[in-house]
Chains A and B, each alone.
Chain A
Amino acid sequence: MSFLEVLYFIVPSAIFYAAPLILTAIGGVFSERSGVVNIGLEGLMVIGAFVGILFNLLFADQFGNATPWLALIAAMAAALLLSLVHAVASISFRADQVVSGVAINLLAIALSLYLVKKIFDKGQTDFITERFPRYDVPFLSDIPVLGPMLFSKMYNTSILALVVAIVAWFVIYKTPFGLRLRSVGEHPMAADTMGINVARMRYIAVMISGALAGIGGAIYAQTISGDFGHATINGQGFMALAAMIFGKWHPLGAMGAALFFGLAQSLSIVGPSIPYIKDIPSVFLLILPYVLTILALAGFIGRANAPKANGVPYIKGQR
């Protein structure tokens, strides 16, 4: 296999694995930029994956090709509802946000498996029949070298993920809404003094994170796994969390980190069929994202600073 052929093989599969991570990590950026730690991303992805698969299985006959897209919307709504639980606990009830996130993770996997067993009478769902199609992007796929690498046999969902990342960057850094979002995460009291409704901003941010994580989970389930069981998501949400931190709480940074983690993930799976890579034990590729995140946090790869008020409930009138 020549080097170019290896690239043709690896790059698309890296993007393919990165798409759910990008969306979920961007969700995390919204939530944490507003000052709410969201460890519950994993659970939100689980609910998204479950509802996505369930919708796909139930309605594939009625909606045909459109099913996977409608399933994304259903998954988004379900995860948004679950994220409201996290929002109520951590914003209104002043709960420890990490603990509430842990509860969300436990609740999501328990609730979905409970329903899977209730509906399907077994440990995992059937495989879905309607999947996202792959297709060649017109014109762009004809570019030499880059075309076959980036734009042929591409999933629409990957494009969606990249678009969402850019839109998120625009919203957070170029709009009044984004400025308010960042200000309640950095100094909620100052923001409150300026007339910004801190609780409302945080509720919106957590709901956005829920919606995006739900879509991420549904994309993962409908493109990569094809069914839903207890191990479907298995840490994707935490890897998205890692991507968010490695990307320094910046949407485009998170996207870059997610792409890189997607590469590491796909290498650990397709690696054995690629020269050079197959000599690396897969365990190193599996732990790479996590090790890199720790190094990034320790300041070995540029300093990663969290939003100042991240994880602190805002209590009016408290100094």
Chain B
Amino acid sequence: MSTATLDAPASTNGKPLENLETVVIRFCGDSGDGIQSIGGHMTNASAMFGNDVRTFPDFPAEIRAPAGSLFGVSGYQLCFSNHDVFTPGDAVDTLVAMNPAALKTNIADLKRGGTLIVNEEEFNKSGLQKASYEANPLDDENLMAKFRVHKVPMTRLNRDAVEGLGLSLKNADLCRNFFALGLVYWLYDRDPKPTEDNIRTKFAKKPDVVEANLRALRAGMNYGFSTESFTVHYHVPPAKLPAGKYRKITGNEAVAMGLATMAKLSGKTVVFSGYPITPASDILHDLSTFKHFGVKTFQAEDEIAAMSACVGAAFAGELAVTASSGPGICLKGEAMGLGMMTELPMVIIDVQRGGPSTGLPTKTEQSDLLLAMYGRNGESPLPIVAASGPGDCFSLIQEAFRIATEFMCPVIFLSDGYIANGAEPWQIPNVADLPRLKIEHITSVNGENGEYLPYKRNEKLARPWAKPGTKGLEHRIGGIEKKDVTGNIDYSPKNHQHMTNTRAQKVANIANFIPEQTVDGPASGKLLVISWGGTYGAVRTAVQQAQTAGKSVAHTHLRYMNPFPRNLGTILKSYEKVLVPELNCGQLRMLLRNQFLVDAQGYNKVEGKPFLVNELVNVINEFHG
């Protein structure tokens, strides 16, 4: 662990150092090129320097796709700024392409006049062929004239840098990513120290690897410093973020840390059961290192078992949670219904990805909202919350458990691939200020005749939670319809109607115990833009831009998807038009129209990518008129 304070701008190394406000940079190369690694380092270096950052890792589903192939290209986009930013940026200022395939698949996003850094040695016959280039694009004067191009013989320079360490050529080439990173560090005036420290720690057992990576990083920096190709470099001053201590956090990390924190502060055991699935697996990985917080992890044989174990753990009286993505959530549906019927508290995390079926495992989408709402047999409403960004996952996962335990029901927590893998600076909260989950297990009988009545409800319609092992509260429950109060099997018509209504009413009542919805912008006017989940940053930025341009537009972002906050209907009716941008084909829009009879219009995209701010600004302008 290292802690940095903000430095003054570094020396200019003899070349002009220009100040910039915001930079968007994208690294791209083969999925085996270490792109995600250097993207992470650049993010850390920028965040620790004090910039606000947002990231967008974008990688193929194949672990090692054939080298040089178009579908094997892995990318990592990072926006860093001297003011708060909410998205990883639209157009790219600097593109680092490690091979022709990376150039081909990414060049369209590079701004005209942007900086292009390529490893020119990979633009050989074989590399061009694999990328289906008929001619070398670096020789295309028309294309190259649009950008500031730096053709760098990275392979050779890197091999020279690590010479004498006894590395094979193959292993030497594995350091090329750090050479590229060094060059970018020079270009954007980044302090290499945190990266160097990290390399030393990560490869502590392999001194030659440490030395090689350090040399490659330095060689890249020196290359920028000494060659004439780079005449200027840039400085992005720190952002004015709220004062405090920060760290970088991804959505999956925040979920795991939130759960470990909750286990410790509530004194309860968190039982996590899961089955490996992209992009949710990191939650299982992280939690399996948090055993000393009172976390038990169970890698089940399948998604169904993971959900079933969750129901079992909840029945046994601990904090049960499972995480998956769309295909897994489909499999969990029946056992989620059991959790609902037995009215036990648990949280089901859905890190959404492109669907249907296997779909786009590594790409983001918001298309499981209706699955979360309706994806079970029978009348089975469940509360749903949706995180708005990586840091939000930390508190919202705990809020999901508050709802689950207070109302005795499963709660669905929606995240997505973009939130799960994307990173942002996160202000570390004070432990003393964190909410404490209050759990009260019933300890003695609640019936007038000295019996335990498992379905005798409180004012919130929640039933008591008896922990097996408690004397006198022995009881039997299950998935068959039960008689209210006693919990005994009861198939009678009136009882089923009553229980169905009660379960629905219980969930609907939660609206009285969550915050009211707030609006950024005018309380009434021409256009309301309403968003949910991972699109928060892009929608917020776009609306702010439209507001600055004088449009009568407001933004509201939902974290509570079921039930909706109780004032949402009033808000929706305070604007002439309602626009719902979503990374699906109109799922929230459908719910809003259905519940509030409002003529909400959609802007929908399912390309596996987040919204760009510009496209949303255009849509807002179009709707606003």
**A and B bound?**
no
Which residues of chain A have a CB within 8 Å of any CB of chain B?
Answer: none
Which residues of chain B have a CB within 8 Å of any CB of chain A?
Answer: none
